[in-house]
């Protein structure tokens, strides 16, 4: 038995009493969205265990979470390529094994039928407020059509360029006026999607480095409206490794002098990040955690290169130079290589299950303990991955105990 399993021994197994949960994906037809849909099918068909799903580990035993079978997937996307076709493309590229896709056609078609057109600023007619209302209506219809207790909106769409600040981002009235003006397109698509989540009373998570719910006015609105939310920018590969490794150097009082990194990848993500503006927002969130962990003296050049022939495999090389006793040189190099979308997909399922739990507990506003999942945690300065692991587990068990107790009370006759 591994060590973390022992910590759950004292907790009674819990059961989810809250009915079905909607998982509404912004960018549902992208690589991550496709893997989420194929993966849910594969797990329900017992073709695959929930490897890679944090919430399926022993450490979460006893926490009342929706089962995978309780999840219903829908979403927005500007793409119209069917999930089935996307899935077969991912088989061709070597990302997905054929056996998981072979029997998934019907399941993917059902999910496809729940995907509505995303907000596309280049074709949208009317004000941005109209777009928000239309998208919120899509989500509400999804909720009602399936009789869902909770809906969790998760943004997994492509990285947007860094947003320049505007006065409207700090003043709710100005923002409202701007949104209603059909001649303005102030907010990026990710923030339109975040507003639709708020409008439809859904929980929300931002898995990208885009603005999303990150603007002050929007975050205030989300808290006021009472949705639980979390962000930002999924921590899947190189940054995960860095935040697991950096505390080791600090615990031993070594001085990390430099941490240089290079990422190479192709696929859709590579193409997006070939845009120098888009990559800037990614680089910013990637470096922030490192500086917080080892100090702002660290020299940390970082590159993301689009290398199309590599396809969806992302390879990251890091070179760490630390100073030890008597100025001794310690060098550590890491090479990480994996399909990024395959790392992200199970975390989407984890976030959906845990945000549903937060909603069941009536939590409002940002949930800092979700920092475990993110490069740039909202509501928290903690980047140390082991601290985040403990914090998330503790939060899940405490929240679960409350939800469990409430369910017990509810079913107890007078």
Closer of 339 and 378 to its own copies (Cβ): 339
SS3 329: strand
Q: Which of 121, 226, 252, 405 binds its own copies (CB under 8 A)?
A: 252
119 binds its own copies (CB under 8 A): no
Q: Which of 248, 394, 405, 408 binds its own copies (CB under 8 A)?
A: 248
Residue bearing tokens 């001794």: 328
Closest listed residue to residue 193, CA positions, set 242, 139, 233, 141: 139
Closest listed residue to residue 99, CA positions, set 51, 154, 38: 38
Instruction: Provide the token pair at 290.
Output: 């490192």
Binding segment (CB under 8 A) for its own copies, from list 122-130, 138-146, 222-230, 319-327: 319-327
Binding segment (CB under 8 A) for its own copies, from list 136-144, 289-297, 361-369, 399-407: 289-297
Window 46 to 65, contacts with its own copies (CB under 8 A) = 48, 50-54, 56-57, 59
Binding segment (CB under 8 A) for its own copies, from list 155-163, 171-179, 198-206, 378-386: 378-386
102 binds its own copies (CB under 8 A): no
38 binds its own copies (CB under 8 A): yes
Closest listed residue to residue 41, CA positions, set 117, 99, 120, 1: 99
269 binds its own copies (CB under 8 A): no
Alpha helix (H) residue ranges in 102-228: 105-112, 128-146, 172-180, 189-199, 216-225
State the minimum distance, in angstroms, from the CB of residue 339 to its own copies: 5
Separation of alpha carbons 351 and 55, rounded Å = 9
Separation of alpha carbons 130 and 135, rounded Å = 9
Separation of alpha carbons 80 and 78, rounded Å = 7
Print the binding letters for residues 337-376 with its own copies: x by CB under 8 A, - otherwise.
xxx--xx-xx-------------------------x----
Binding segment (CB under 8 A) for its own copies, from list 124-132, 198-206, 221-229, 381-389: 381-389
Instruction: Provide the token pair at 178.
Output: 């701007």
């Amino acid at each position: 038995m591994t060590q973390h399993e022992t910590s759950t021994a004292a907790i009674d197994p819990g059961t989810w009493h809250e009915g079905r949960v909607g998982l509404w994906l912004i960018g549902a037809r992208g690589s991550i969205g496709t893997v989420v849909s194929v993966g849910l099918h594969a797990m329900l068909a017992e073709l695959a265990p929930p490897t890679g799903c944090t919430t399926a580990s022993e450490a979460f035993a006893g926490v009342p979470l929706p089962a995978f079978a309780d999840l219903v997937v829908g979403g927005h996307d500007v793409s119209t390529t069917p999930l089935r076709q996307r899935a077969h493309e991912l088989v061709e590229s070597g990302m997905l094994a054929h056996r998981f896709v072979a029997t998934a056609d019907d399941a993917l078609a059902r999910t496809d039928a729940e995907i509505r057109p995303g907000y596309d600023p280049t074709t949208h007619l009317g004000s941005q407020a109209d777009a928000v209302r239309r998208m919120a209506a899509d989500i509400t219809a999804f909720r009602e059509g399936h009789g869902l207790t909770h809906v969790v909106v998760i943004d997994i769409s492509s990285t947007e360029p860094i947003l320049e600040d505007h006065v409207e981002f700090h003043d709710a009235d100005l923002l409202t006026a701007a949104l209603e003006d059909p001649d303005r397109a102030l907010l990026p698509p990710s923030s339109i999607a975040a507003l639709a989540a708020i409008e439809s009373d859904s929980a929300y998570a931002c898995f990208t480095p885009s603005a999303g719910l990150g603007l002050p006015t929007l975050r205030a609105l989300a808290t006021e409206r009472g949705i639980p939310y979390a962000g930002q920018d999924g921590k899947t590969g190189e940054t995960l490794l860095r935040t697991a490794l950096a505390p080791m150097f600090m615990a031993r009082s070594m001085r990390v002098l430099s941490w240089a990194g290079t990422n190479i990848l192709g696929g859709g993500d590579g193409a997006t990040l070939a845009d120098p503006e888009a990559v800037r927002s990614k680089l910013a969130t990637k470096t922030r955690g490192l500086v917080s962990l080892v100090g702002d003296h660290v020299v940390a050049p970082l590159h993301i290169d689009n290398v199309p022939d590599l396809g969806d495999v992302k390879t990251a090389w890091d070179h760490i130079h630390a100073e030890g006793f008597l100025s001794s040189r310690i060098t550590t190099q890491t090479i990480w290589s994996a399909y990024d979308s395959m790392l992200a997909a199970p975390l989407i399922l984890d976030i959906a299950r845990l945000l549903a739990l937060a909603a069941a507990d009536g939590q409002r506003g940002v949930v800092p303990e979700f920092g475990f999942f993110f490069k740039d945690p909202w509501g928290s300065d903690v980047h140390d991955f082991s601290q985040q692991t403990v914090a998330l587990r503790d939060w899940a068990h405490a929240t679960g105990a409350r939800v469990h107790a409430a369910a017990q009370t509810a079913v107890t006759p007078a």
